[in-house]
Chains A and B, each alone.
Chain A
Amino acid sequence: MVRVRLPTPLRAFADDRAEVVVEAGTVGGALAGVIGLYPHLRRHLYGEDGALRSFVNVYLNDEDVRYLAGEGTEVRDGDVVTIVPSIAGGSGGGREHGIDSGVSGRTGTRDEPYRREEGARWS
């Protein structure tokens, strides 16, 4: 069994639960399990393209899964998957309004979370 911890803004869609326990073999499976129980979470976690939304961070036991195998990261009994929001926006509009990424892609280094995150999500 895997515990999935929900951030405050998503708890209203999960009967006000802070944590949901599911059976899963991967991080993606754990998220799918939670969405199976609480379908209204889907639109806030995944975009229409089926990909995890921008600025949805997922940790496996405090390790950002982007440094692991993403949603394919294997999970074991007792693991904790934590969803953490990043907050972003601004007056510049969306991608179609000409925002560039500022970087060419992920840097993958632990000491540059802002740069990595933005490169991964704004490009």
Chain B
Amino acid sequence: MKSAVGVGGGVEDGRAAVGGRVGGSMGGGFTAAGASHAVGVGVAVAALEAIRAHAEAAYPEECCGALVGWSGGVGGRGRGRVVVRAIPTGNGAVRGRGRRYLIPGEVVRAVEAEARAGGLAVVGFYHSHPDGGAEPSRSDLELAWPWYSYLIAGVSGGRAGAIRGWRLRDDRATFEPETLWLAGEEA
């Protein structure tokens, strides 16, 4: 396993996660699948790896895509929020794709339909920050929707780094970090 997920919403390259807690650079404990999580987002390893691969392939442009899974009663299967799959979309920004991304409404509708067909739902989106960190920018904040989980992958020199999770606060003032945890095969 190449990735681990950390308290505080981070995923760091090369950190083992299976079997329990591992210290991370972000100062948090890492958790593996099977733990009980009242908050945060479970992310399947395959989804994390797909995001990392997409971020590196799109470099030096920003990549983006949808996160499909379930959340509470939305998409079906239980409580909490779990991302089962990351579905890459094209970056619809006309110019400046190295510093911005766009998933048009028509594409959002299409991925929602695809998720529904599989008994799941779109629970968030991801994008990358080429040669930048995994923290949301001002435009990320200005243009964000509530409820969705936003995963941001930092990329440095073409190599994907940390992936962190964020959710817009209801008053739109800021993002709150979301704790990410690794979801196993049961996801």
Contact = CB atoms under 8 A, between A and B. Distances in A.
Interface of A: 7-13, 16, 40, 43-44, 54-55, 57, 84-94, 96-97, 99-100, 102-103, 113-115, 117-119, 122
Nearest 5 pairs of A and B residues by beta carbon: A92-B99, A90-B100, A102-B95, A89-B140, A9-B147
Contacts of A122: 100
Interface of B: 62, 64, 73-74, 92-96, 98-106, 108-109, 112, 121-122, 125, 127, 129-130, 132, 136-148, 150, 170-172
A102 B94 contact: yes
Nearest to B97: A90
B69 to A, nearest CB: 12
16 contacts: A9-B147, A44-B146, A84-B108, A85-B108, A86-B108, A87-B103, A87-B148, A89-B101, A90-B99, A91-B132, A93-B139, A100-B95, A103-B94, A113-B105, A118-B93, A118-B102
Contacts, number: 134
Nearest to B94: A102
Contact of B146 (A12, A55, A91, A113): A12
Contacts of A85: 105, 108, 145
Q: Which of A43, A85, A118, A119 has the most CB of B within 10 A?
A: A85
A97 B121 contact: no
A90 B103 CA distance: 11
A122 B142 CA distance: 12
B127 A89 contact: yes
A9 B146 contact: yes
A119 B104 CA distance: 12
A7 B143 CA distance: 15
Q: Which of B112, B121, B138 has the most CB of A within 10 A?
A: B138
A39 to B, nearest CB: 12
A35 to B, nearest CB: 15
B92 A118 contact: yes
